């Protein structure tokens, strides 16, 4: 079971840095020189370890940096599907062309034992300019292309039904949903596209309208575009969305009930979140300003394994992981900020941590995951080398 406080965090590894020159520089978070332990630098991409002892962090810390082309950070979904189960970050990388490194992505929740385990994402996802998933709850987000962070995902999707504008409540979300401190009922107007791996709701009083895309343009939820849809069927049973279709589930009393098979509607989706956007918690730095740390948030004030993405003022991308054990070892939010500042990071978002923390590069997992092995996750961040 997962939540934003870091439930089920795992166990870590003390840093083993055996280079005497590094020990002499204890007052700074120092890059470890290339060695047989796996540090590498190639074509502008650097993978190295740092010594966090000066900040009170005694577990292994791994860092990846790059600036500009030919590298980029991209979001990957478990099994290439929203709610498509779980998959390790290393597997995501190995099965993606051009991938040279990967870490775990956003927080996710899991279904109770004995039921399907979709690994539903908590935050919003925009992948390749397509809005794939809307935030379940208030959640921080990172615009990977704009190298910026925000308190939430700015998005809107509406369907014009016979002149009436019907707002979409959620996109590709599993509802109803219940896990630690989160209880979301089946309500609103819910939109599903082909990447959704599960089925639409099937409860008394609810109807699913099945549309096919008429214009043959990009994905129907491509941000800042409109798509023309034709109603092809209406059903009260659960259905799985097929390629090229859009399914909208709502109560039988909604404006959608006025439609008949063959009618067309226009759907418009907008967002200022950029073409690649993923969630996390919390924002650590925003253009040099240290974000406030809630003293009541034990996930922030106690040490945990961490995964972070950030950027320097010059535009260098920095990805860092810290090994740790729930509430015992690893880094607190304050320690994390100090280490990021030592790397000249000015904007950063904390991603999922604990048992999920994974650092994959050079064809292997370089960190020591808390549970002793890599944990399958819902989303990953991949470093892609473009041709």
Q: What does the DSSP assignment read for 150-181? A: ESS--EEEEEEETTEEEE--EES--SSEEETT
User: DSSP assignment of 201-224, as one string?
Assistant: ---TTEEEEEEEESS--S-TTBTT
Q: What is the mean pLDDT of residues 222-251?
A: 95
* Whether the predicted pLDDT of 56 surpasses 50: yes
pLDDT(161) > 60: yes
Q: Are 63 and 383 in contact (CB under 8 A)?
A: no
| Residue 179: predicted pLDDT | 80
| Model pLDDT for residues 122-138, shown as the tens digit of each residue | 999 999 999 999 999 98
Q: What is the pLDDT confidence band of residue 178, given thresholds at 50, 70 and 90?
A: confident
Report yes or no: 142 and 280 within 8 Å, Cβ to Cβ.
yes
Please write the tens of the pLDDT for every residue from 297-353. 999 999 999 999 999 999 999 999 999 999 999 999 999 999 999 999 999 999 999
- Cβ-contact 385, 100 below 8 angstroms: yes
Q: pLDDT at residue 51 above 70?
A: yes
Flag whether pLDDT at 6 surpasses 70.
no
Query: ω before 70 within 30° of 0 (cis)?
Result: yes
- Average pLDDT over the chain reads 88
pLDDT score recorded for residue 27: 33
Give percent of the chain above pLDDT 90.
76
Beta-bridge partner residues of 241:
none
Q: What is the pLDDT of residue 29?
A: 39
* Predicted confidence band of residue 113 (pLDDT cuts 50, 70, 90): low
Is-contact 269 222, C-beta < 8 A?
yes
Residue 378: closest CA among 360, 352, 350: 352
The three-class DSSP label of residue 273 is: coil
The arithmetic mean of pLDDT across residues 39-47, rounded, is 74
The tens digit of pLDDT for each residue in 204-223 reads: 999 999 999 998 778 999 99
First to last CA, the chain: 40
Which of 155-164, 216-225, 328-337, 363-372 has the least mean pLDDT? Answer: 216-225
Give the model's pLDDT for residue 39. 52
Lowest-confidence segment of 55-59, 143-147, 368-372 by average pLDDT: 368-372
What is the C-alpha radius of gyration for the chain, rounded to an integer number of angstroms? 22
pLDDT at 182: 83
Cβ atoms of 106 and 123 within 8 Å: the answer is yes
Looking at residue 325, the DSSP 8-state letter turns out to be B
- The pLDDT of residue 41: 57
């Amino acid at each position: 079971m997962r939540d934003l406080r870091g439930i089920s965090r795992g166990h870590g590894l003390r840093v083993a840095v055996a280079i005497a020159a590094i020990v002499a520089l204890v007052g700074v978070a120092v890059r470890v020189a290339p060695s047989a332990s796996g540090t590498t630098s190639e074509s502008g991409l650097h993978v190295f370890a740092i010594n966090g002892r000066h900040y009170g962090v005694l577990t292994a810390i791994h860092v990846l940096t790059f600036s500009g082309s030919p590298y980029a950070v991209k979001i990957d979904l478990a099994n290439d599907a929203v709610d498509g189960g779980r998959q390790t970050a290393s597997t995501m990388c190995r099965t993606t062309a051009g991938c040279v490194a990967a870490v775990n992505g956003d927080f996710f929740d899991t279904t109770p034992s004995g039921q399907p385990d979709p690994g539903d994402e908590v935050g919003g996802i925009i992948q390749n300019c397509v809005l794939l998933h809307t935030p379940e709850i208030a959640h921080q987000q990172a615009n990977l292309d704009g190298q910026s962070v925000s308190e939430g995902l700015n998005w809107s999707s509406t369907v014009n039904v016979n002149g009436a504008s019907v707002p979409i409540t959620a996109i590709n979300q599993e509802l109803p949903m219940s896990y630690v401190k989160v209880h979301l009922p089946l309500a609103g107007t819910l939109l599903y596209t082909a990447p959704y791996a599960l089925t639409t709701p099937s409860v008394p009083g609810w109807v699913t309208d099945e549309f096919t895309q008429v214009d043959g343009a990009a994905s129907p939820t491509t941000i800042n575009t409109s798509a023309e849809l034709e109603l092809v069927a209406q059903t009260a049973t659960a259905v799985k969305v097929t390629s090229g279709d859009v399914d909208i589930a709502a109560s039988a009393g909604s404006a959608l009930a006025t439609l008949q098979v063959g009618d067309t509607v226009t759907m418009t989706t907008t967002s200022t979140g950029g073409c690649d956007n993923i969630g996390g918690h919390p924002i650590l730095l925003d253009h040099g300003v240290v974000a406030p740390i809630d003293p009541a948030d034990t996930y922030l004030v106690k040490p945990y394994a961490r995964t972070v993405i950030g950027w320097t003022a010059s535009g260098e991308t920095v990805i860092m992981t810290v090994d740790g054990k729930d509430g015992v070892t690893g880094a607190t939010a304050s320690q994390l900020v100090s280490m990021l500042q030592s790397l000249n990071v000015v904007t950063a978002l904390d991603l999922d941590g604990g048992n999920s923390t994974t650092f994959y590069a050079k064809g292997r997992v370089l960190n020591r995951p808390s549970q002793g092995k890599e944990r399958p996750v819902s989303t990953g961040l991949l470093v892609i080398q473009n041709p």
